[in-house]
Amino acid sequence: MPPHDGLTAADWPEEQISNVTSHAGHSRPNRRAHIRERGLNTGVRVMDDGRLDIKIREHKPWVGKIIKHLQHQPEPVREDRKPSVCLTEDEECRCPLKLNIVIQVVGSRGDVQPFIALGKVLKSHGHRVRLATHLAFRESIENEGLEFFNIGGDPAELMAFMVRNPGLMPHMSTIRSGAIPRRRREMKAIFSGCWRSCFETGDGTGMHHISEDPWNQTADYRTQPFVADAIIANPPSFAHLSCAEKLGVPLNMMFTMPWSATQSFPHPLATIRTKNTKPSAANFASYAVVEVIMWEGLGDLINTFRKRELGLDPLDAIRAPSIAHRLQIPYTYLWSPALLPKPGDWGDNIDVTGFAFLSSGSDYKPPDDLASFLKAGPPPIYVGFGSIVVDNPGSLTRIIFKAIRESGQRAIVSKGWGNIGAGEDEIPENIFMINKCPHDWLFQHVSCVIHHGGAGTTAAGLVLGRPTIIIPFFGDQPFWGSIVARAGAGPLPIPHKQLTVEKLTDAIKTALEPSTLEKAKEIGKQMRTEQGVRNAAASFYQHLDLESMRCSICPHLPAVWWVRHSHIKLSTFAAAVLVETGLINPRNVVLYVSRLSSRGMYF
């Protein structure tokens, strides 16, 4: 069944929704959260993979409201499997304005890399691009010629925390350990870092000073003043909407997993159970539940940030969870419609553009021992879990090694942040251990890919037509495992806590079956025709209201000021010239806000 026909709990392995036990090991059979807000009253169970198992009851008032709302919506149409913004290889889409663009990203290396690729395209179009993320990624960003800004947060600690608490609700053991206050302090710092990234000179480390000539274009970027004209952000950065509101600049959300409510499939962080409710209504409802739960955890921090740092009014718990949907904030989704088409009920403010690849392997030359291993036999299997930090790497290593041996295959195993293979006295002859190696080079030489299910690694394997076996740990990883399996490009995902030698061996056999290989090649062929990162840039441009953004005198520059009692909008350059020459009184020049929301909020 194609993905746009709707996903339900039945699309995940049955064992994932059974045996839902308390993470704290108490006698309670289930850990249950109750959400009550204006009629929202539903049972939510936390599954072993961290997603929410939501039981939808049609007689509940909030479900009835959703069903009534959907009855007044046009019937969703099927979308073809092409990007909603689709440039050919020779086409180019540029913005006539030269903008200061800040890209705010919270997450792992796989979350950051698509935005590095996007930043490079935007920079090539003449924009100044600042990528605001964690300090651990500064070198990777600067090596690609982009400006970096540190927003705080340690992605390694975040990955370790998420493996131990793979969902929206932490384990009781985590609460007792005091980890929650630490994570909340980290999020507060990230909110502040995101705000500073919009206007602060430097790279966010506090180690650079403004030079005597700050407007010298040849000077280090860390000494040049910066004020954002537009914000691009992924949803987990959370401060994005508040920053855009305060500055009065456009906001474009971009992500590698679905974050917008749809009738086609449930929220990737949830699965649903329902008896009488239509699957489409239950799917749509799952987004409301997930957003409410996220607001329960972070809403107080967001409102404190808004009040104390930005001087904005707080958002109330009724409207805050769905505010981006109501304000029609543009969303650009960075995945291939060959794998997951754009749902028919998503509006024109939402685009699916294709995966954004950062090419890094074109000049790669493998070390001699790796090249010799590849030549010594048939294409090996790749096994790697990227930024995932596992609690017991020894146990995971033994399962992988035994499954590779029993399947009669060879393998290249990446150590990753989880340090797979550490402590092993002897590595089998049919296995080669690596540290870092560009996926776009390595995956050309393997038979299939085994990984955690991050969107980036999923895309890197499929674009080369390689079958994929996903062993999800948390977040959207089970979702992508299900999507790959439904597409026929791999077996059903195996949650890491349920991984055994037998299950992995069977999954390898399924992945290497001729039908799976053929389906993966078919998907890869279409993905290679997509211009994902260029489409994403075009999507960003198309959602800009250029007429309201441009200077009335210098239309190639963004407006920053406006003249009182007139419709004249001025760039910084135009305002400086007019004030300096005495043509306008500086008292009549005030800050210009280009974006007005439906709530009266400017952003």
Quote the CA–CA distance of 93 and 379 in Å, as a whole number. 40
Q: What angle do CA 597, 599, 601 make, to 5 degrees?
A: 55
Tens-place pLDDT, residues 460-500: 999 999 999 999 988 889 899 999 999 999 999 999 889 99
Judge whether 183 lies within some domain: yes
Which pLDDT value is given to residue 386?
A: 80
**Same-domain status, 423 and 445:** yes
Q: Is the pLDDT of residue 36 over 80?
A: no
Kindly provide the residue ranges of all beta strands, DSSP E only, lying in 198-290, ordered along the sequence.
230-233, 251-255, 270-274
pLDDT in the model for residue 232:
98
- Residue 394 domain flag: yes
| Residue 307 placed within a domain | yes
In this prediction, residue 18 has a pLDDT band, given cuts at 50, 70 and 90, of very low
494 and 572 share one domain: no
| 140 band by pLDDT with thresholds 50, 70 and 90 | very high
Which of 306, 578, 357, 591 has its CA nearest to residue 461?
Answer: 357
**pLDDT tens, 394-434?**
888 999 999 999 999 999 999 876 678 766 668 899 999 99
- Quote the pLDDT of residue 30: 39
Residue 357 within any structural domain of the chain:
no
Phi, psi at 499, each rounded to 5°: -75, 130
The predicted model scores a pTM of 0.84
Cα–Cα dist 120/533, whole Å: 9
* Least confident range of 55-69, 254-268, 303-317: 55-69
Q: Is the pLDDT of residue 293 over 50?
A: yes
Least trusted range by pLDDT, from 6-20, 376-390, 550-564: 6-20
Same domain, 251 and 272: no
Q: What is the CA radius of gyration of the chain?
A: 25
Same domain, yes or no, for 401 and 524? yes
Please state the φ and ψ torsions of residue 576, each to the nearest 5 degrees: -65, -40
Same domain, 437 and 404: yes
CATH code, domain with 236: 3.40.50.2000
CA distance 327 to 130: 25
Question: Above 90 in pLDDT, residue 292?
Answer: no
Same domain, 104 and 250: yes
Could you tell me the pLDDT band of residue 74, with boundaries at 50, 70 and 90? Answer: low
Residue 449: CB partners within 8 Å, gap ≥ 6? 381, 382, 443, 457, 460, 461, 466, 467, 468, 469
Alpha-carbon 548 to chain mean position: 29
For residue 26 the two structure tokens come to 């108490």
- Together in a domain, 404 and 303: no
**103 and 250 co-located in one domain:** yes
Q: CA-CA distance, 424 to 426, in Å (whole number)? A: 6
Task: Give me the domain span that covers residue 504.
Answer: 368-533
Q: Would residue 189 count as lying in a domain?
A: yes
